[in-house]
Structure 1
């Protein structure tokens, strides 16, 4: 199971289309963790499951999505409703509440992946305004049984090996 994850594109359209077209034949799901600042009906987001971010004013997008990926449940939200810029504790509690093994979020614009109390947290960073690094990033999660590989990419498709990681889900 492969999942493309992006967030915080803040009005970009060409870059979303480029990333989507680059990976559409190799992934099973495409997720946008909010702050697209695009209409829910925009052609750029049509292939994506999308949540509402704090900059998606007037949007009718959901605040969260819970997706059953077969062996694992994935939870997605933007993160602003869980104060993720300060702590992942609130998001962790929500992920555990819905029995998610993977929690995808944005809001902080900081790319990273880590396991906390058995939940894999993935923030793909931002393809427009990255924080703590100069590269504009998105991620692909490749899950097989209990093995989860998170590969980060620059917006141009170049892999970022230094922050890509592999995890074992329990």
Structure 2
């Protein structure tokens, strides 16, 4: 299974469309971790699983998303409700509560991936307003029988910036 994961596009629409066109035939699902600042019915978000961010005023997106692919569980949220700029502890509790193997979140505009308590966490960084690294980023995550490969890409050039591979248990 392959997932395209993005977050914090803050009003950009055409750039999302370009990204979707670039990768739509190689991924099984697309997740936006909030702060699109677009409406639920925006054509730019068609086919993308979406959660609500703290800047998605008036948008009727869900606060979180739980998707099951076979026995693999993906949990997505923006992160502001879990205080992810300060700690990942509340988010890790929620991940355990829903039985997630993979957690996708945004809010901090910091691209990162790590493994904690057997769960892989991914923040794809900000699609528009990055803090660290300075590049505008997104992720393609590939899940095999026992490994999660996380590849961070620069938005405009699609240049791979770095990769993380983690084993996980189902």
Residue in 2 aligned with 1:68? 68
SS at match of 2:160: coil
Shift in Å at residue 132 of structure 1? 2.0
Residue 154 (1) aligns with residue 140 (2): no
Aligned residues: 168
Return 49-58 or 63-72, whichever deviates more. 63-72
Distance 2:116 2:165 in 1: 14
Shift in Å at residue 133 of structure 1? 1.8
Residue in 2 aligned with 1:35? 35
Distance 1:106 1:66 in 2: 16
| Residue pair 1:7, 1:126 contacting (<8 A) in 2 also | yes
Q: How does 1:1-170 map to 2 (within 5 A)?
A: 1-156=1-156, 157-161=158-162, 164-170=163-169
| Residue pair 1:71, 1:145 contacting (<8 A) in 2 also | no
| Residue pair 1:66, 1:73 contacting (<8 A) in 2 also | yes
| Residue pair 2:32, 2:50 contacting (<8 A) in 1 also | yes
Structure 1's unaligned 5+ residue stretches are none
Structure 2's unaligned 5+ residue stretches are none
Distance 1:16 1:65 in 2: 20
| Residue pair 1:52, 1:61 contacting (<8 A) in 2 also | yes
Tell me which stretches of 4 or more aligned residues in structure 1 moved more than 4 Å. none
Distance 1:133 1:60 in 2: 30
TM-score by structure 2 length?
Answer: 0.97
For residues 94-141 of structure 1, the C-alpha deviation after alignment (integer angstroms, 9 at most, x for no partner) is 000000010000000000110011110000001110012210000011
Shift in Å at residue 151 of structure 1? 0.3
SS at match of 2:47: coil
Distance 1:20 1:34 in 2: 16
| Residue pair 2:125, 2:132 contacting (<8 A) in 1 also | no
